[in-house]
Chains A and B, each alone.
Chain A
Amino acid sequence: MKAPAPVAVTGMGCICAAGKDFPTCVQTLFSKDPDPKPPSRFTARHPETHPVFEIEASILTHLHSREDLSITAALGVAAARQALEDAGWDPEALSRVRTGVCMGTTVGSTMNDEAFYRTYRSGTLPDLFPVRRFLSSNPAEAVARTFDLSGPCLTLSNACCSGADAIGTAMSWIRGGICDVAIAGGADELSRVTYNGFIALMITDTRPCRPFDRDRNGLNLGEGAAVMILEPETSRRVRKRAPRAFVLGYGSAADGYHLTAPDPDGAGLRRAAGHTLSADGKTLSRIAFVAAHGTGTKDNDAVEARVLDALLPGIPFFSTKGHTGHTLGAAGAIQAVLAAACLNRGTIPGSAGFFTPDPQLPAHPTRHPQKIRGDLALSESLGFGGANAVLLLKRGGDSS
């Protein structure tokens, strides 16, 4: 069977606690120790502090200059701008082709402004500005509006898989000829409401998160955005742009098991990975590593380790959450751009926070940076509601 056409990634952008742009984020992944801190933009009363990965205040102030846009939407626009510059697309040229926008989010599509609601509950007429801002901040719409684009436009809200699903959906758009260029990724901001929600679920750590570690005790929330610019390989060649990476496959499947807990057998993740790998029969031997979802929660990491051991025994894997925090709707996109960077460097990082192997798990992530062999990588995402999404990425360079 002939493999589907590769979809070229011609530009990438990323903003998160690890850095203000893509190169800085990659550098942090290989050089800095993580340093999550208590949230600084809001306060919350809990018996213990739960650290988060916030974007530096000065960076956020620079990015979020428009009051009528949410931080989530502003992050998405900023990551898109970085990626478009990296891809060599100027806005005027971009508006002459059919450009799609596909963004994942969770916080960005939830109407839950606390101050507005508190006023409403008190019986006082609340200012409608937060509602107007919410209505003007749909992440995909905000990107399309900013760059004056007219192609397909989608905001996916598929919990923690959203960013990966957005890139996978955009890959299908390019393959299907639905648009000429696609801006795809995810964005989410830290929110007091989400912070309280995750603490209520008892899945946040009071220390820096420890993905796959024996003593792991939950996740640290984060915030950020990442975007890939996708184009048909033929167009990339015509534009003479160096490929940053290729997206070769995407699979999505539901556990159908529980609203908040993953299927212990990882049935949905296996199906999503199976669909992704079936895109090319020769892929298994070329897989260099897996960028795991690896949040640091007991259940998620156990399921992932079991599935990876069964499907890809001996293939190294790592988690980026110890450097970025769990950025929810942005997580799958941030992970994908970092995985692409690792493919191009020929090295993967150690999993920040992983110190002691868990004897209950059949496979363990990298502890230190290591060189890789192979030109392909999987990037996995698992989410609330039993959502699973897997992307198959290829190193930039030759598209074969």
Chain B
Amino acid sequence: MKAVIRGIGVVGGFGTGISTLEKILMDHGPFIESFAVPDGQPLGGEPYAPVDTRNLKERFSPRSLRRMDHLSRTALLAAALALEDAADPGGNADTGVAVASGYGAVRTTFAFLDTILEAGDAGASPTLFSNSVLNAPAAHISMHLGARGPNLTVSRFEMSFSDALSIAVQWLEEGRAPSVLVGGVDEWCPVLGHCHHRFSKTRDAAAFLSPFCTGLERARIAEGAVFFLLSPEMEPASGYGVVESVESGRLPRDTPTFPKDAVILTGIDSHRDSARPRLPGDHRVVDYTGYYGTLPVGMGFDMAIASVIVRRGRLFSVPDSTGGETVVDGFQTEKAPKIRRACCLNITPSGAYGLITLASRPDFSENSRPQGLMKS
């Protein structure tokens, strides 16, 4: 059984909502902007692209958000947007929730350590501790959106998103849930910025996000969340497309299988050590990392973009970071045949890979897209 993508919610440094991301694709930019680290950080670090979750207050009572940390707010906003995009704001009580996070609530974790280091062991904050637990975002989503079906959080760094998606599809196949909110969330914190700075000594300050240029560190650190509302294939009358398969394996022993007619979104995020896969020569290869930045659950943003690609049946060109040259593998998007399939590929430096294949559904034309509340 395939899973239908009924709604998408995205929150990133580029803005909020799938319509915002779609506009960036249509307008060929801009690239995600990053800002200097906040003042007062002892050791500096990489700039990053922050997210803004203030419009959560339009959806939920300030009281219920009072003790919720930045990571959970980001995840909750994206999950709520996915339901709204699917015109299903109320959700279903049996909806499952599968959340991926590479590092979890790092800001809250270090804030909790601050309370120990400043006030002593007996001064540790219970509120910060409970929010630092990795499944806190999934719990807040369940509490605020009434999704009380199966509920899991997975964490395997860059592989986390495809892991969560595989669970969501499995739940639908087994009938464990009538629909699943599946997504990924990660946040920036000064310590992560510092570590990234230390690990990437050869950073090229003049350029950034040149995915196919090897050997230089050009990642742009980002944070954000991306969620999808998935249902079994038979049910919905509208949506973006279908998840045909979720594959995982380890190179070189296993080989990813790319359908012949698929375009491949690589998710190479300009880390110096990012694995450059040997891709089949007859496939079109694109990389949209420049629009959302570098974060462990970046593959989720690729899936959001791939969803738009299969629904519209077209690719979107990506400007080169050095100036307005259009380069999508030399491919002129406007004259191209309809894109029916898109693969999102992620490979870690150790060879573990995840591969998500999306396909269009002929009845999901652009006009059939659910016109949800679309607050952004």
A residues sitting closer than 8 Å to B (CB atoms) are 44-47, 106, 109-112, 114, 117-118, 120-123, 125, 128, 131, 135, 138, 140-141, 144-145, 149-150, 152-159, 165, 169, 172-173, 176, 178, 193, 196-202, 251-260, 267-268, 271, 275, 383-387
Specify which chain B residues have a CB less than 8 angstroms from the CB of A135 in the assembled complex: 157
Instruction: Give A4 Cβ to nearest chain B Cβ, in Å.
Output: 9
- Contacts A112-B113, A176-B170, A176-B173 supplied; 12 other A-B pairs, CB < 8 Å: A111-B106, A123-B43, A138-B157, A150-B253, A152-B166, A158-B135, A159-B135, A201-B129, A254-B97, A259-B67, A259-B136, A267-B148
Indicate if the CB atoms of A385 and B154 lie closer than 8 Å. no
Query: CB-CB < 8 A to B43: which residues of A?
Result: 120, 123, 125
Whether the Cβ atoms of A44 and B126 lie closer than 8 Å is: no
Q: Is B122's CB under 8 angstroms from A46's CB?
A: yes
| Contact status A253-B135, CB under 8 Å | no
Task: Please give, as numbers and ranges, the residues of chain B lying within 8 Å of A131 by CB-CB distance.
Answer: 195
Q: Does B254 contact A (CB under 8 A)?
A: yes
* Complex contacts, A267 vs chain B, CB 8 Å: 148
Chain B residues near A159: list those with CB within 8 A: 133-135
A321 to B103: give the CA distance in the assembly, Å: 29
**Beta-carbon contact of A200 and B124 below 8 Å:** yes
Interface size on B, residues (CB 8 A): 65
> Which of A45, A256, A384 has the most chain B CB atoms closer than 10 A to its own CB?
A256
CB <8 Å contact, A156 and B112? no
Cβ of B179 within 8 Å of any chain A Cβ, yes or no, is no
B117 contacts partner chain A, Cβ-Cβ < 8 Å: yes
A256-B130 contact given A45-B120, A169-B167, CB 8 Å threshold: no
Residues of A within 8 A of B139 (CB): 254, 259, 384-387
Interface string of B116-128 (1 = CB under 8 A from A): 1100111011100
Q: Contact check, B248 vs A153: say whether CB atoms are below 8 A apart.
A: yes
Is B110 a contact of A150 with CB atoms below 8 Å?
no
From B148, B167, B191, give the contact of A254 (CB < 8 A).
B148
Chain B nearest CB from A53 CB (Å) reads 20
Q: Which residue of B lies closest to A109 (CB)?
A: B155
* Any A CB within 8 A of the CB of B178: no
In the assembled complex, the CB of B198 is this many whole angstroms from the nearest CB of chain A, namely: 6
A217 to B112, CA, bound (A): 24
Identify the 9 closest CB pairs spanning chains A and B, nearest first.
A385-B139, A197-B129, A254-B151, A252-B150, A157-B134, A254-B142, A200-B124, A200-B126, A256-B142
Residues of chain A within 8 A (CB-CB) of B191 are 111, 117, 120
Beta-carbon nearest neighbor of B170 in chain A: A172
User: Chain A nearest CB: distance from B187 CB in Å?
Assistant: 12
B129 touches A252 (CB 8 A): no
Q: Can you identify 22 A-B contacts, CB atoms within 8 angstroms?
A: A109-B134, A112-B109, A112-B110, A112-B112, A114-B116, A138-B157, A144-B250, A153-B248, A156-B154, A159-B135, A176-B173, A197-B126, A199-B124, A201-B129, A202-B126, A252-B150, A252-B151, A255-B142, A258-B143, A384-B139, A386-B139, A386-B142
How far apart are A33's CB and chain B's nearest CB, in angstroms? 29
B314 at the interface (CB under 8 A from A): no
Query: Who on chain A is nearest to B95 by CB?
Result: A254
Minimal beta-carbon separation of A93 from chain B (angstroms): 15
Which residues between 6 and 43 of chain B lie within 8 Å of chain A, taking CB atoms?
42-43
| Residues of B close to A201: CB separation below 8 A | 126, 129-130
- Chain A residues with CB below 8 A from B284, complex form: none
A198 CB contacts on chain B under 8 angstroms: 129
Contact A157 B150 (CB under 8 A): no
